[in-house]
Amino acid sequence: MKENKIMDPFYVEISCENGNVSPPARLISRKLSDLVGLFYDQDAYNRALADDNPVLYEVYEVRVPEEEGHLLSCTTVIYPGKVGKEYYFTKGHFHVLENRAEIYTCLRGQGYLLMTTRAGKTHSIAMRPGISAYIPPYWSHRTLNCGEEPFIFYGVWPGDAGHDYESIVEQEFPLRVFEENGQPVVKIK
Ligand code: PAN
Ligand code: ZN
């Protein structure tokens, strides 16, 4: 590699309070309407959407090339709320290159990391500040906020991993978390 082609080191500052990244990173905002067909209770989803279309989560992505060798990273902020009894969650995905792993480290709030394999194995990890979870290659992953404040985590993954959302739409995510008697309960559906 020619010296003049090598990227300069840099840093960002992350707010554990609201997940903001500065200098400003790319912001992706997902609203209730972006998660059509994903929640368990479709009637509750339609009722909620008729009422309002709130932002469920935001992602602040640090900009580096999406290429082999680089590491991508972002904060994800999931706001508190439910559709019916099911907590707000992310769309969830496999990596397009399925043998690419990822690390999620919780900065604020309470949540769950849900994971599944194509063959139907499932695993969940309760997340709270300081918990750093390893998502091995070949596991799809979805996160949710089961607390009353924003749930914020920092994720790091290989630059060439890519996101496959279609598989999650086609084959329902088998793990769901509902509120029962004020407590989150993980269920295999
Ligand atoms: C994360 C996720 C982020 C949002 O950066 O992309 O938490 O979740 P969805 O992408 O499922 O909407 C990650 O896992 N990147 O690979
Ligand atoms: Zn991922």
For the chain (189 residues), the mean pLDDT of every run of 10, in chain order, is 91 98 96 98 98 97 97 98 98 98 99 98 98 98 98 98 97 97 96
Supply the pLDDT for residue 19: 98
Supply the pLDDT for residue 133: 99
The span from the CA of 90 to the CA of 93, in Å, is 9
Supply the pLDDT for residue 122: 98
What is the DSSP pairing of strand 102-108 with strand 132-135?
Answer: antiparallel
The C-alpha angle with vertex 34 and arms to 29 and 37, in degrees rounded to 5, equals 150
Residue 156 Cα to ligand 1 midpoint, Å, equals 10
Residue 31 Cα to ligand 1 midpoint, Å, equals 14
SS3 of 148-162: the string is CCCEEEEEEEECCCC
Secondary structure (DSSP) of 1-53: --GGGSPPP---EE-TTT--EETTPEEEEEEGGGGTTTSS-HHHHHHHHHH--
Residue of 31, 36, 61, 90 to mutate, ligand 1, most atoms within 8 A of C-beta: 90
Supply the pLDDT for residue 3: 87
Supply the pLDDT for residue 2: 87
Residue 122 Cα to ligand 2 midpoint, Å, equals 16
Supply the pLDDT for residue 4: 86
What's this model's pTM, rounded to 2 decimal places? 0.97
Report residues whose beta carbon is within 6 angstroms of any ligand 1 atom.
59, 74, 76, 90-93, 102, 141, 143, 155, 157, 161, 163
Rg (CA), the chain: 17
Supply the pLDDT for residue 51: 94
